[in-house]
Structure 1
Amino acid sequence: MPAEPSILTAERAHLAASHAALRRMREHAEGLSADVAADWVSKQFLESLLDQRVAALADHPDTPLFFGRMDRDAGADGAGDGSGDADADIPPVIYVGRRHVHDGPEGRPLVLDWRAPVSRAFYQAGPADPMGWRLRRRFGFRGGELTAFEDEPLGASLAAPGAAPPPASRILTEEIERPRTGPMRDIVATIQPDQDVIVRAGLPQTVCVQGAPGTGKTAVGLHRAAYLLFTHRERLSKSGVLIVGPNRAFLAYISAVLPALGEVRVEQATVDDLLGAPSGTEPAAVSALKGDARMAGVLRRALWAHVRRPAEGLLVTRGASRYRLADHEVRETAAALRGTTRYGAGRAAFAQRLAHQILVRMEQRGEAPDDRVQDQVARGRPVKRVLDEVWPKVTPEQVLYRLLSDAEFLRAAAKDDLDEGERAALLWAAPARSHRSARWSAADRALLDELADLIERTPSLGHLIVDEAQDLSAMQLRALGRRCGTGSATVLGDLAQGTTPWSARSWAEVLSHLGQEGEVTELTLGFRVPGTVLDYATRLLPHVAPELERPRSLRAGEGALQVRRVPDVPPAAVEAVRAALARPGSVGLIVADDAAAGHVAALAAAGLDPALLGPGSPGTARLLVVPATLAKGLEYDHVIVAEPAAIAAAEERGLARLYVVLTRAVTTLTVLHRDDLPAELAGAGTASRRRPGPSR
């Protein structure tokens, strides 16, 4: 709606007052000193907290301080969080923004944090349940300047039978379609009710989101992290929150979202960061076998096989006295501990139990030894000799090296879990000289992590957020599950976008490997991908994930899709990129990995200044050439896909990769091909199976 001058002037005045108040809040935080701390350690800790506070109060000129307003219904008993409890502290008008802003010595709120309970109504209130509010106002901004507003009445009369539904929000649509370059931005102004329910789920609850392209699952996960840190700050500041993404390019892309929401200390990592970067490669079939959950049992047996029968008993000499344990007593002591604890803890307990039995012998002779004597005996040479013989100290690398290089040891550890062919596939054809010189694959790293946890417990975080979880193997999921063993998780992904040979086929399977129980919510209604583009891409859905409901877009996207057969793809791609650059927004040319360098050269020769997206690059250039294997999770205003058949043919699950590639566009998608399109894409396709509703 056209902005009325008087209202717009008043709202701009409130925005200016909010900016001034935030500036005073930051100045106050900068003026605080850590000198009041009692000691040096406390001072360092306090200085760190103050630095975080100052960073969180940064006022970014292009980021609006608030994006919405709610007006209370004067006749309502309560408002804000939907509880129905009267609350005199809730003002008649609230402004909802990315962070709390207050003014004056009494802390008068000018902007309420979107995560506050009272702000929930901005996302959830509607004609069917106004939650005690009568009006929702959205604000339009250009840069940091407030340019428009849009009012949505929330009166109960609007929910009457036959009442027309409220029109789609123009400001909401414009915000979603606003051209984008550089890192991903937050969606806090555009969160939808079904997304808000996921974001505000309680900390103990593990949430799994099956999200079709464009439904905002990644943004929902990031905003859930911000919400949990706001609601449970003291607890999570100690236990930690970790975001795990598929690659460094993806993490660079999402890196700006949480700082924009005031959260500056959330760790982000890839699986390789957590488990160790691979130093070797292997066939995909071998990696898939190593990633199978059956390997957990194989590794457990391989580790505990290092606990052996003693060749003789234990003899401890103290002065003129000798104390002896027979070999069967040593064996029984080890057997009582074997498999009941972690290997490292069991080794330490074994030494202490041997020493305790020696103390019993001493007491039987009338001596009165104390705990210090037991510790001396446990650390003494005789016990250490038996300990190294019966319960030797081992590293994960030693165990896995032996397993993959010793056929007889592998056969004994595998038992019935692996057949002869699988064991033969796992064995190294040319083993390294030792575990120190072995070159470990990415799949090996997950096995090493499993062994490390069997030896010593892996510390647990308070909350773990895993994106693109469908691409992780069972053993990688087990590794992540250990890192939230006493916490909870947010699991995000799309089974249709699974591109690894070991991609999950169900979320129940993923949650089981993580060791978590949680609800599965399916998001199928999206804003990001235009409808015509999404309809084209979903021709592939019956072939990559027929069990999923077909996603829908709220944007029709007329004219957003072009599919053209051309005599030569690289020159045609240059012209398509040139046309896209004439429009606002980012441009991504997505190609098969082995064709990326050639397209970069062609674009550079045409003077178009392309950048090649790499595994660790931030991807901030306006024009990017994107290898298909790095496209997952990214989005561009204008996408040009070169030679879809080459992308589909490049890997075992190439159709799933192509589905990912075709759903990266926000405004336009241009598909260029010289070779025939994949048959699954060229035809009209069949409708994927539809279910009555989302699984919860």
Structure 2
Amino acid sequence: MVNEPNSPRDEEEKRLLVVLEQVGRRMRKELSLLGDRREDVVGIRQEFWDDVRMNFSDSTEVGETWSSIVQQAELLAERERSHRVASEAVERLTKQFDSPYFARIDFAEKDSGTEVIYIGRASLVGEDGETFFVYDWRAPVSSLFYDHEPGPATYRVPDGRMEGELKLKRQFVIRGGQMKHMFDTSETVGDEILQAVLSEGSDTSMKSIVATIQKEQNWIIRNEKHKLLVVQGAAGSGKTSAALQRIAYLLYRFRETLGPDQIILFSPNPVFKGYISRVLPDLGEANMKQMTFRELIEARLGRRFEVEDLFSQTEALVAAEGTAEGEARERSVRYKGSEHFFITVENYLKRLEQEGVRFRPLRFRSMTLVSAEEMSQQFYGIRAADGFGTRAAGVRRWLLERIKLWVDSQMDEQWLEEAAELVDGEEIQRAYVDVRRRGGFHDEAFDDEDQMSARLRRRVAEQAVAPLVKAVRSFRFLDAVSTYRELFESRSLFSSCSPDGVQPVGWEWMLQRAELTMGRKVIDHEDATPLMYVLEALEGFRRVEGDIQHVFVDEAQDYSPFQAAYLRRRYPRARLTVLGDFNQAIYIQSQESGGFGGWTRLMAPEATSVLRLTTSYRSTEPIVRYTKLILPAADAADITPFQRDGEAPRLFPCKDGGQLGERIAEDIIGLLGRGYGTIGVITKTAYETGNASALLKEQLPDDVPVTLVTGGSAELPKGVSVLPAYLAKGIEFDAVLVWDASLAKYGKEKDRKLLYTVCTRALHVLHIYHTGEASPWLPSEK
């Protein structure tokens, strides 16, 4: 169809050419600057030492030489910084040339004329420094696009609110500098644009959603009022995307005082870490710190203990299902993730202020330098009001002094004489240098040999006790494991700390399990966080990271009250943004704590905001309606599908595992032929993934990549991924093929949310395979 002269489309295309010319002009300038800076950097590196005046004849010349080196190094660093800035500018402009903006709003401020505003991923300012061709999506005025339809509208600025009328809202799809689509809309974000974006195929990394942010997501992104923001969202409602855009917004809004190293995001697994790693760089921001809670545990306990992770715990529980041991372990996991146990441990810590902290004696070979009883007396000799941290630090200073005094007492002991005679030449040289520094080895000195011998013995003694000194400095004299175990070893102690005086069912089994595992320096996952909490409390939470200003926690419904409380104590000055879905609480550790565990009680109600996202955008409407039926009706009531059509989910019965593998392989070939780039074959457990991937590799052609995704995987590959359910959290695939959703695999009530989580990973296609009888939670095909 030919555009009419001066039609809105024609005018917008003309305007796009003007903007692209601006981008191109800036690009040429930055490329020229980049080339110059590259030549400068290469030249300075090549000529670095030629331009440095080297002279070591005396102290003055050494100082001048050092100044010359520093000067050249600073020049090189400045040129490298300039090169990096120019390189980042070229990368940003390249993206702008592809798609400089995605929206236009016409806003008439009260008592003022109408201003035409174009919104994109990054701002574009003219060479005069005043003309805005494009506004950054995070600018205050840009919130009008996300929050309002045409009509009266306001937006917040640092010193108040601006009022006026939104006269026009227009959206664009621009790719490769070409205008593909243009829509005028009366909605906050038009359905046409949203459907176009959602209909695209998935990728191996999450995409930015700045062009399709919904009003409720924008509220999350720009919220600056609350210290604790809790987002309960349906599967596919954009929780994680909104959180990442929130990080980008915060870095933009507080650019002078907030850096990416002051923000940390806790991801559910390493695969997810890689999946979201491109969002912030695509928006021109450096990535925040990112880690899993497992990595935090490993950093704190991993050097001293073998610590079970959450995935291994899950596999162990599945393997022991139906046995007395399995049921006892499951009770233990549920209880140790409960609010009741958290309060019990908190009460126990209050008791420990008066008595009960266990200590490790300080031993050297067969000698006890300081007994545990002496340490306890010293610890409790410091007033309780000073807190655990001050007490522990006081004992540490006292122990270091005791070690020093002990070393002094050993100077004439036989073991030290013998050890000093065996030292090598290098150690003798060090002793010689020490004596020389103290004024020895000159004509008036008569006791040089004695000094040398004494210094050698002291060095040997200090080296011998160096491991003890290191252990003391690291607070290893505190026996957190024995202190924690004591809570289970004394029935009366546990009852007195329990908030209702009641011991949990299976308390005796928990005691036996603690003796069995901790005695071998093995820590069950359900014990890791409570143990770490006790350990950090005794040390006064000395490893708190006060420089972190924002903590984001994804899949927060899977955290126990201990994990929530521990993070709050570790990052005491940080604002918290936690995101999750009650219906995806798949781990037993958090199923007794109401979905979000202890999150909502971490801060005062007036500092806390809880928001629900109910619209599911990820999957097609038929998939959302199908997966809602997996859940109890009350839990699914608020989930609303976005109106995007697609094929209905399908259920495929198979006679055995062999046929299941054959039919899934045939399905994969068909789906790849239809253009689906990412296909997830999702099993219940990691054990099943090995069998599934082996069967599929036998059935599929060699040119079809099949990747077994494990807990150690850092990236999600293109093609076919075979992975267990718990690694699929937060990730999406063009097509999901559920491996054996049978009664035997997903027959219990606790499997219901797991099956829901698996099925909601699908964007466009959901095919469910099973052997024998299907899971009772699966809706029947109609």
The TM tier, using the shorter chain, reads 0.7 to 0.9
Matches of 1:13 and 1:348, distance apart in 2: 66
Query: Residue 581 of structure 2 contacts residue 595 of structure 2 at CA under 8 Å; is this kept in 1?
Result: no
| Gaps in structure 2 of 5+ consecutive residues | 4-8, 45-66, 154-163, 314-328, 359-375, 399-468
Secondary structure at the aligned position of 2:257 is classed as helix
1:85-484 correspondence to structure 2 within 5 Å: 92-106=115-129, 108-129=131-152, 131-142=164-175, 144-152=176-184, 168-202=190-224, 204-237=226-259, 240-276=262-298, 279-280=307-308, 283-292=329-338, 293-297=342-346, 300-301=349-350, 303-304=352-353, 334=380, 337-338=383-384, 340-348=385-393, 395=476, 398-404=479-485, 408=489, 412=493, 415-417=496-498, 419=503, 422-429=506-513, 431=515, 438-454=521-537, 455-457=539-541, 458-460=544-546, 461-484=548-571
Kindly provide the amino acid, as one letter, of the partner of residue 123 in structure 1.
Answer: Y
Q: What secondary structure sits across from 2:152 in the alignment?
A: coil
Moved more, 210-219 or 478-487: 478-487
Task: Report the TM-score, using the length of structure 2 for normalisation.
Answer: 0.68
Task: Identify which of 741, 744, 756 aligns with 1:644.
Answer: 741
The answer to whether residue 665 in structure 2 is matched with residue 578 in structure 1 is no
Structure 1 segment 610-621 matched on structure 2, within 5 A = 610-617=706-713, 618-621=715-718
Is residue 151–residue 167 contact of structure 2 (8 Å, CA) maintained in 1? no
> Retained in 1: the 8 A contact 2:620–2:644?
yes
Contact 1:637 1:666 survives alignment (8 Å): yes
- Residue 558 of structure 1 and its aligned partner are, at CA, apart by 3.9
* Letter paired with 2:540: E
**Post-superposition shift, 1:49?**
7.3
Alpha carbons 1:288, 1:473 under 8 Å: kept = no
- State the 1:221 CA deviation: 0.9
Secondary structure of 2:266's partner? strand
2:235 is aligned with what amino acid?
Answer: P
Query: How large is the RMSD of aligned CA atoms in angstroms?
Result: 4.1
Provide, for residues 246-298 of structure 1, a one-character-per-residue CA deviation record: whole Å limited to 9, x for no partner. Answer: 11111111111111112214001100112226634664433333333235326
Bigger shift: residues 14-23 or 583-592: 14-23
Who is 1:596 aligned against?
A: 689
1:134 and 1:128, CA in 2 relative to 1: closer, same or farther beyond 3 A?
closer
Counterpart pick for 1:523 among 608, 613, 622:
613
Structure 1 CA distance for aligned equivalents of residues 77 and 259 of structure 2: 12
Match of 1:11, as an amino acid?
L
Paired residues, what number?
A: 603
Contact 1:468–1:494, Cα closer than 8 Å, also in 2:
yes
Q: Note closer, same or farther for the CA distance 1:238–1:588 as it changes in structure 2 (3 Å cut).
A: closer
1:555 partnered with 2:633: no
**Could you tell me whether the CA contact under 8 Å between 2:392 and 2:475 is conserved in 1?**
no
Question: What CA deviation, in whole Å up to 9, does each residue of 1:459-509 have, x standing for no partner?
Answer: 232111111000111111112222442221111000010001132554675
| Residue equivalent to 2:457 | none
More displaced, 188-197 or 103-112? 103-112
C-alpha distance 393-302 of structure 1, shift in aligned 2 (>3 A) = farther
1:26/1:299 CA distance change after superposition, 3 Å: farther
Contact conserved, 2:709 with 2:723, CA < 8 A, in 1?
yes
User: CA contact under 8 A between 1:565 and 1:672: conserved in structure 2?
Assistant: yes
Q: Partner residue of 2:22? A: 17
Alpha-carbon distance between aligned partners in 1 of 2:697 and 2:682, rounded to the nearest angstrom: 16
Letter in 2 for 1:613: V
CA 1:26–1:69 in structure 2 vs 1: closer, same or farther (change >3 Å)? farther
Q: 1:346 to 1:120 in 2, by over 3 A?
A: same
Contact kept? 1:640, 1:672, Cα under 8 Å: yes
Q: What is the deviation of 1:185? A: 0.8
Identity percentage of aligned residues: 23
Q: Within 1, Cα distance between the matches of 2:73 and 2:494?
A: 49
Cα distance, 1:535 vs. partner?
1.0
Deviation at 1:647, TM superposition (A): 8.3
What displacement does 1:348 show?
A: 4.3
Give SS of 1:600's match.
helix
- Kindly indicate whether the alpha-carbon contact (under 8 Å) linking 2:261 and 2:288 is maintained by their aligned counterparts in 1: no
Query: Structure 2 CA distance, aligned partners of 1:438 and 1:596?
Result: 30
Of the three residues 659, 670, 679, the one matched with 2:756 is 659
1:624-671: CA deviation from partner (whole Å, max 9, x where unpaired): 122222111110112222222268538872111100011111112122
- Report if aligned partners of 1:198, 1:220 keep a CA contact under 8 Å in 2: yes
In structure 2, how many angstroms separate the alpha carbons of the residues matched to 1:464 and 1:67? 30
CA distance in 2, matches of 1:124, 1:196: 7
Residue 601 of structure 1 aligns with an amino acid whose one-letter code is: A
Residue 742 of structure 2 aligns to a residue whose secondary structure is helix
Aligned mate of 2:632, from 542, 547, 572: 542
Instruction: Answer with 412-421 or 206-215: which moved more.
Output: 412-421
1:477, 1:674 → 2: CA distance? 40
Bigger proportion of residues as helix: 2
Per-residue deviation at 1:537? 0.8
The answer to whether the Cα contact below 8 Å between 1:530 and 1:557 also exists between their aligned partners in 2 is: yes
Amino acid at match of 2:777: E
Q: CA deviation at 1:600?
A: 1.7
Match of 2:55 in 1: none
1:69 aligns with 2:92: no
User: Which amino acid in the other structure matches residue 268 of structure 1?
Assistant: Q
The 1:137–1:128 alpha-carbon spacing in structure 2 relative to 1, beyond 3 Å, is closer
Q: Taking structure 1 as the reference length, what is the TM-score of the superposition?
A: 0.76
Give the residue type in structure 1 aligned to 2:178: L
- Do the aligned partners of residues 650 and 464 (structure 1) sit closer, same or farther apart at CA in structure 2, a change above 3 Å counting? farther
1:205 counterpart letter in structure 2: K
Segments of 5+ residues of structure 1 without an aligned counterpart are: 79-83, 155-164, 310-329, 354-387, 686-696
Cα contact 2:337–2:590 (8 A) shared by 1:
no
In the TM superposition, what is the alpha-carbon distance from 1:529 to its structure 2 partner?
1.2
Q: Residue 160 of structure 2 aligns with which residue?
A: none
The whole-number CA distance in structure 2 between the counterparts of 1:459 and 1:502 is 26
- Residues 1:469 and 1:547: Cα distance change in structure 2 (over 3 Å): same
Question: What letter corresponds to residue 307 of structure 2 in structure 1?
Answer: S
Alpha-carbon distance between aligned partners in 1 of 2:380 and 2:166, rounded to the nearest angstrom: 68
CA separation of 1:123/1:247 partners in 2, compared to 1, >3 Å: closer, same or farther? same
Residue in 2 that maps onto 1:511: 599
Can you list the C-alpha shifts for 1:383-414, whole angstroms capped at 9, x where unaligned? Answer: xxxxx9xx999549722244337864675366
Q: Give yes or no for contact 2:582–2:596 (8 Å, CA) kept in 1.
A: no
Asked if the contact 1:291/1:502 (under 8 Å) is kept, the reply is yes
Aligned 8 A contact 1:591 1:647 in 2: no
State the match for 1:313 in structure 2: none
Contact 1:638 1:667 in 2 (8 A): yes
2:549–2:574 Cα contact (<8 Å) kept: yes
SS in 2 for 1:623: strand
User: In the TM superposition, what is the alpha-carbon distance from 1:27 to its structure 2 partner?
Assistant: 6.5
Given that residues 331 and 506 in structure 2 are in contact (C-alpha distance below 8 angstroms), is that contact kept between their aligned partners in structure 1? Answer: no
Query: Aligned partners of 1:12, 1:108: CA distance in 2, in Å?
Result: 16
Give the letter for the 1:185 counterpart: K
Larger radius of gyration: 2
Residue 317 of structure 1 is matched in structure 2 by none
